[in-house]
Structure 1
Amino acid sequence: MVGSILSVGIPNGFENGMFNFGKIIVQALVATLGTAAIAANAVLNSVSGLAIVPGTGMGLAMVTVIGQCVGAGDYAQARAYVKKMMLFTYAFMLVTNVPILLGAKWIVSLFPLSPDAIKTCLTVMPIMATLHLTVWPFAFAFPNALRAAGDARFTMISSSASMWLVRVGLSYVMILGFGLGVAGVWYSMFIDWFVRVFLFILRYRSGKWMTKRVIK
């Protein structure tokens, strides 16, 4: 029993650690761009954090629901609930992200930002909200179905590799190579999301997650 718990807990812990360490590295890179970039990045992170609350909540619920289905050996029901809960996730994400799409200028006006920071926020924020509504759920809520089935090692490897090779690596390329500033950091993040979606959907469709039960 303990070994089964650790087989899920350790990969999840490692994945979260690598993810947050990667965010620190990116944040350190942003800090070299000046106060306007730091301010714009802080605002975008704050808005994004609020925008993904419904999706994060549904992702946590998915662990419980799919875990029960897998524990009962009912993979048909697990698939049905994955589909249903992903639909709910998309519906709830509309509540927080449509206002961001429609009111980006008003939201940015709430912060005492420089013209450069305002320009960056108004460039990135609509793209961010659009991808929250389309890509983010499959990049971050959906893999909880795999974790619930005991396929935590795959999500750990995929997420960590995408974080470091794509988000962190491309951030340096976008900033140092193309001079895109903090917007380049966010573009790298968005590409990271697409890579995650590709890997997680591929894994789900392969059916290999159905051979990874936590407790047998």
Structure 2
Amino acid sequence: MSNNQRNMTLFALTWPIFIEIFLHMLMGNADTLMLSQYSDDSVAAVGVSNQILSLIIVMFGFVATGTAILVAQHLGADENRMAGEVSIVSIAVNLLFGLLLSIALVFFSKPILSSMDLPRSLMDEASSYLKIVGGFAFIQALIMTAGAIMRSYGYTKDAMYITIGMNIINVIGNYLFIFGPFGVPVLGVEGVAISTITSRLIGFIVSIIVIRKRIPTALPFRRLLNLPLSHVKNLLRIGVPSAGEHLSYNGSQMVITYFIASIGTNAITTKVYAQNLMMFIFLFSVAISQGTQIIIGHMIGARDFDSAYERCLKSLKIAIIISLIMAGIFSVAAEPLLRIFTSNEEIISLGKTLIYLTIILEPGRSFNLVVINALRATGDVRFPVYMGILSMWGVSVTLSYILGIWFGLGLIGIWISFIADEWLRGIIMLKRWRSKVWIHKRFVQHDKNTV
């Protein structure tokens, strides 16, 4: 392992990741905030479309996740050439996969939205947004892969700077197309979609330039067709099960959004506003979990299992403490924060209750974010998927219907189901980590790869 890799610390890796994810969230919130000045219905339309796009992004994530883990492990084992080969293969694979899904979204946007029981009044705007952003979704696939490469090499600051630039471009575009200064046509939802894809395209181009400059060996384009298929197999071996857990989560969220749509447009809008605020609460845990995954990936590559074990537990404690503090702060400020988005008293009152419930929800989410990412970094990727599917559908979806629809508790009942799901999975994941089964699995996988 190089000196640069040895000197990696959680703080040095995490704070740029924190800023980067924070800015990604700001990009989504900028869309919501600016559209809220245009129309609450437009917010609901984009919110439902983004639920579908989140599912698509998770499917892109299977390659990005595999890339992050394999590159970190190869670098930890001082296999720089292999790390570069994995990087270029992952970009090619995600480009092809992204193009296929983008084409599907363009042609099937309305049938997909109709299947979610979307109110007719929202269909035109939601479909327009989904066609534009979904049609260029492959750019997001490329950005995710390039970001994973930069972070695994330790260049988290570069990824952060690129995200800052993307946000600036996105906000400027939103302002131009929503408010129409200087004679620019007011395009509403379509304008927000155009701003989104433009900022992503520029962000990807800059990402490739940075990688070629920082890590000349990371993208051997000329050797792409001659690289072994084993890299693709390894990406799929780690990435597909890892994405399965996210895919299950987003799929369950789509079903729950269907339940919420049956309650009414106000319920959809409240969910969008509340979850936009909640993202800032668990942002710290997301950043800590990603920084921890990079460090543990390097440790596993160097076969330093004891340090990897302790690193996960230390990171988990930090994530839980910070999530509790942030949930408390946002609960106190819930009403003024919600009034930034809307003046609808019904939405504000219900949204406040949902934010209060995050004090219980977020510590449970911290377990899943940190420990599951740690398990992935070791190569133990299937167990979280199996447990995730059982809990998300058996607990979250089932209780959402029983409490939210059957007993008429609405969004409050649905939030209670989220709490039960996060805590159940979190405790199971912690027991898995403490069992150290992943050490044995790592030895078995290493022996298979060396045969």
Same fold (TM over 0.5): yes
For 2:312 and 2:256, the matched residues in 1 are separated by: 32
* Equivalences for residues 1-80 of structure 1 within 5 A: 1-2=230-231, 3-80=233-310
1:177 positional shift: 2.2
For 2:422 and 2:248, the matched residues in 1 are separated by: 16
* Equivalences for residues 1-216 of structure 1 within 5 A: 1-2=230-231, 3-90=233-320, 92-93=322-323, 96-132=326-362, 134-213=363-442, 215-216=446-447
1:149 positional shift: 1.0
Q: Is the 8 A contact 1:48 1:128 kept in 2?
A: yes
Q: CA RMSD in A?
A: 2.0
Secondary structure of 1:43's counterpart equals helix
Q: Is the 8 A contact 2:357 2:415 kept in 1?
A: no
Larger mean Cα displacement after TM superposition, 4-13 or 28-37: 4-13
Larger mean Cα displacement after TM superposition, 87-96 or 25-34: 87-96
Larger mean Cα displacement after TM superposition, 139-148 or 106-115: 106-115
For 1:82 and 1:201, the matched residues in 2 are separated by: 10
1:5 positional shift: 3.4
Instruction: Provide, for residues 183-204 of structure 1, a one-character-per-residue CA deviation record: whole Å limited to 9, x for no partner.
Output: 1111111111011112101211
For 1:43 and 1:141, the matched residues in 2 are separated by: 25
Instruction: Provide, for residues 10-47 of structure 1, a one-character-per-residue CA deviation record: whole Å limited to 9, x for no partner.
Output: 10122222221111111111011012211211111111
1:113 positional shift: 4.6
Q: Is the 8 A contact 1:175 1:181 kept in 2?
A: yes
For 1:22 and 1:94, the matched residues in 2 are separated by: 25
1:130 positional shift: 4.4
Instruction: Provide, for residues 45-84 of structure 1, a one-character-per-residue CA deviation record: whole Å limited to 9, x for no partner.
Output: 1111222222111111121111122222222111121122
Structure 2 unpaired stretches of 5+: 1-229
Give, as a single letter, the amino acid of the residue that structure 2 aligns with 1:112. Answer: T
For 1:72 and 1:5, the matched residues in 2 are separated by: 20
Q: Is the 8 A contact 1:39 1:113 kept in 2?
A: no
Q: Is the 8 A contact 2:242 2:385 kept in 1?
A: yes
Secondary structure of 1:171's counterpart equals helix
Q: Is the 8 A contact 2:371 2:433 kept in 1?
A: no
Secondary structure of 1:52's counterpart equals helix
Q: With the length of structure 2 as denominator, give the TM-score of the two structures.
A: 0.45
Give, as a single letter, the amino acid of the residue that structure 2 aligns with 1:71. Answer: G
Q: Is the 8 A contact 2:368 2:426 kept in 1?
A: yes
Q: Is the 8 A contact 2:252 2:392 kept in 1?
A: yes
For 2:397 and 2:422, the matched residues in 1 are separated by: 13
For 1:146 and 1:206, the matched residues in 2 are separated by: 12
Q: Is the 8 A contact 2:331 2:352 kept in 1?
A: no
For 2:318 and 2:434, the matched residues in 1 are separated by: 20
For 2:237 and 2:386, the matched residues in 1 are separated by: 14
Q: Give aligned pairs, total.
A: 215
For 1:130 and 1:173, the matched residues in 2 are separated by: 20
Identical amino acids, percent of aligned pairs: 26
Secondary structure of 2:419's counterpart equals helix
Larger mean Cα displacement after TM superposition, 99-108 or 28-37: 99-108
Give, as a single letter, the amino acid of the residue that structure 2 aligns with 1:138. Answer: F
1:94 positional shift: 5.7
